[in-house]
Amino acid sequence: MPILQPLGRTFLLFLQATGRIVLFTSTSVSHCVRPPIYPRLIGRQMIEIGYYSLPVVGLTAIFTGMVLALQSYTGFARFSAESAIPNVVVVSITRELGPVLAGLMVAGRVGAAMAAEIGTMRVTEQIDALDTLATNPFKYLVAPRLIAGLTMLPILVLIADIIGVFGGYVVSSYKLGFNPATYLKNTMDFVEPQDVISGLVKAGVFGFLVTLMGCYHGYNSRGGAQGVGAATTNAVVSASILILCFNYFITELFFAR
Amino acid sequence: MTPKIRIRGLHKSFGDNVVLDELDLDIEAGQSVVVIGGSGSGKSVLLKCILGLLTPEAGSIQVDGEEVVRMNARDLERVRRKFGMLFQNSALFDSLPVWENVAFGLIQGERMERAAAKKIAIEKLAAVGLKPEVGELSPAELSGGMRKRVGLARAIATAPEIIFFDEPTTGLDPIMGDVINDLIVKCVRQLGATALSITHDMASARKIADRMAMLYQGKIIWQGPVAEIDSSGNAHVDQFIHGRAEGPIEMQVRAI
């Protein structure tokens, strides 16, 4: 059956790619927990991922919070439920929008940069040079990035949560006529630790996925500038898709009854 | 006496393209061997197989009598400490200053204090004719010749027993090429190291080699002392060393 042949080939290629990613992940994780650890490199990556992503994540969060308050108001006013706006804003930001949007922004900024940097190192033989200098590239290049992604994204998301809620507060208080004190009280009364914790768990997973995809595609890039370009695109696309998929499964894990 | 590097029956292919085909080669301790051959003849693949960067399908590679093909990662890392390598395009780490590139093997591989490693790096830079100020520059600020010198300084920084040179003079003008050749000879002699170089630059090969071997169609078709290369009696070698278009080595070109 000629129609089944390409389908089967695609499926086999998918399995092959999945196997490669699983092997890459297990090797990377094993190097994260075995000495030697490189604190200087981990610190550098933490600054790169956490500190330098702060402006873009902060801007995304504040405008998301503002739009959320505005949209909720226009929708909820139809059935006189405007008072629920603080609750909607805080739950949406902490559970979903904070981690997902921060993850996607970091995928675009950090994942792409990692794939480009490691990909360039691959095609210019710098990774081979690491090997010949008796330095394991997984330990030196991949592990510090994974550790930094895993630890810094939850911190970024925590800050994004606060900024996002602040955005909703500003619009609600100064444009929609809410009492600022009541808005804040409603927000604090309604939000539960599980809302924030689920968002932080998601952030940790997304940070791991973004850095993993950046490293994987960069490490396996081939063929000069074109290969590095393809690696960068693949890193962002695959990280974004994985973020959306894992977002569902983690939500299911935390909130499905 | 056991050769420093002993290669037997080495076979490596990429898909249908057989690059190394039952290749045999011995490199004695303290010797400088140059493997010559055309572009794409598998010279770089040979180096990468010895370093364990590529895994051959068949054959044996022994370093100091120790089999390195399919060796586990930890042992391979230990064996790699015996090697230094000058890459074709130097492969300097863009994110590190020059001195840290040179000291990389000392800091990461031998866990030396950064201050002590920097001191040695500056000495090695001086040994290849570069001033201490160069150590603070980024690799992007260096010319091609300076990059090669830094690459050479990095290759010798850990005083390795074996040094590989991958096309050491490619992309350099003839004078700078000769400067690099002189530095290679000086460094290898000072360290008493075993050297394996690959090149298609015959002037370079004649200068740095004790012995030469020619790689053609995946096999070593001739090897011997450098003085005998002009009287090898091998038509392939003759054509190659004189750079003639006519001869048994045919280039795959089509008429326009």
> Which is nearest to B196 in space by CA: B224, B220, B169, B164?
B164
B81–chain A Cβ distance below 8 A for any pair: yes
Note the pLDDT tens digit of each residue in A177-191. Answer: 888 898 898 888 888
User: Contact A132/B84, CB-based, under 8 Å?
Assistant: yes
What is the spatial distance between Cα A55 and Cα A243, in angstroms, rounded to a whole number?
A: 21
Strands (E), chain B: 5-14, 17-27, 32-36, 58-63, 66-67, 83-86, 162-166, 194-199, 211-216, 219-225
- Domain locations in chain A as residue ranges: 50-255
Strands lying side by side in the sheet with B162-166: B83-86, B162-166, B194-199, B32-36, B211-216, B219-225
What percent of chain A stands above pLDDT 90?
68
Using CB atoms, which residue from A121, A125, A135 is nearest to B108?
A135
Mean pLDDT, residues B200-215 taken together: 89
A136–chain B Cβ distance below 8 A for any pair: yes
Q: Amino acid letter at A45?
A: Q
* pLDDT above 80 (res A212): yes
What is the spatial distance between Cα B74 and Cα A141, in angstroms, rounded to a whole number?
A: 18
A133–chain B Cβ distance below 8 A for any pair: yes
Predicted pLDDT at A189: 87
CA torsion sign for A47, A48, A53, A55 is positive
Note the pLDDT tens digit of each residue in A15-24. Answer: 999 999 999 9
| pLDDT tier at A205, thresholds 50, 70, 90 | very high
B109–chain A Cβ distance below 8 A for any pair: yes
> Which is nearest to B69 in space by CA: B4, B160, B7, B162?
B7
User: A230-240 in b/e burial notation, b at 16+ Cβ within 10 A?
Assistant: bbbebbbebbb
Which spans in chain A are helix H?
4-33, 39-46, 54-76, 85-91, 98-106, 112-123, 126-132, 137, 143-174, 180-190, 193-219, 224-255
B48–chain A Cβ distance below 8 A for any pair: yes
Using CB atoms, which residue from A120, A121, A131 is nearest to B80?
A131
| pLDDT tier at B253, thresholds 50, 70, 90 | low
* pLDDT above 80 (res B1): no
Predicted pLDDT at B256: 65
Note the pLDDT tens digit of each residue in B151-162. Answer: 989 998 888 899
What percent of chain B stands above pLDDT 70?
98
Phi, psi at B115, each rounded to 5°: -65, -45
What is the spatial distance between Cα B229 and Cα A248, in angstroms, rounded to a whole number?
A: 69
* pLDDT above 90 (res A126): yes
The total number of residues written for chain B in this structure: 256
* pLDDT above 90 (res A105): yes
* pLDDT above 80 (res B254): no
> Is there a contact between A137 and A239 (Cβ–Cβ < 8 Å)?
no
Predicted pLDDT at B88: 87
CB atoms within 10 A of CB A248: 9
What is the spatial distance between Cα B197 and Cα B214, in angstroms, rounded to a whole number?
A: 12
> Is there a contact between B134 and B125 (Cβ–Cβ < 8 Å)?
yes
> Which is nearest to B124 in space by CA: B155, B93, B87?
B155
What percent of chain B stands above pLDDT 90?
30
Q: What tokens were used for A3? A: 């129609």
User: Contact A126/B89, CB-based, under 8 Å?
Assistant: no
| pLDDT tier at A157, thresholds 50, 70, 90 | very high
What percent of chain A stands above pLDDT 70?
99
| Least confident piece of the model among A34-48, B170-184, B214-228 | B170-184
This model of the complex carries an ipTM of: 0.85
| pLDDT tier at B252, thresholds 50, 70, 90 | low
Q: B82: number of CA atoms within 13 Å, CB side?
A: 21
Residue, of A145 and B185, whose pLDDT is higher: A145
Phi, psi at B140, each rounded to 5°: -65, -20
> Which is nearest to B197 in space by CA: B28, B46, B29?
B46
A222–chain B Cβ distance below 8 A for any pair: no
Instruction: Indicate the angle between helix axes A193-219 and A143-174, nearest 10 degrees.
Output: 140
Predicted pLDDT at A68: 92
User: Residue B6 has what DSSP assignment?
Assistant: E
Using CB atoms, which residue from A124, A129, A134 is nearest to B109?
A134
Predicted pLDDT at A43: 95
Predicted pLDDT at A52: 93
Residue, of A224 and A152, whose pLDDT is higher: A152
pLDDT, mean over chain B? 87
Q: Which residue of A has its CA nearest to B79?
A: A134
CA distance A126 to chain B (A): 5
Cis bond before residue B174 (omega within 30° of 0): no
> Which is nearest to B128 in space by CA: B184, B204, B177?
B184
Q: Which residue of A has its CA nearest to B103?
A: A133
Using CB atoms, which residue from A129, A135, A140 is nearest to B87?
A129
> Which is nearest to A111 in space by CA: A246, A235, A222?
A235
CA distances from A193 to A64, A188, B128 (A): 21, 10, 62
What is B211-230 written as a DSSP string?
EEEEEETTEEEEEEEGGGGG
CA distances from B97 to A62, A160, B102, B118 (A): 39, 35, 9, 11
Predicted pLDDT at B99: 95
Using CB atoms, which residue from B83, B89, B92 is nearest to A132?
B83
Contacts of A36 in chain B (CB under 8 A): 111
Instruction: Indicate the angle between helix axes A180-190 and A143-174, nearest 10 degrees.
Output: 140
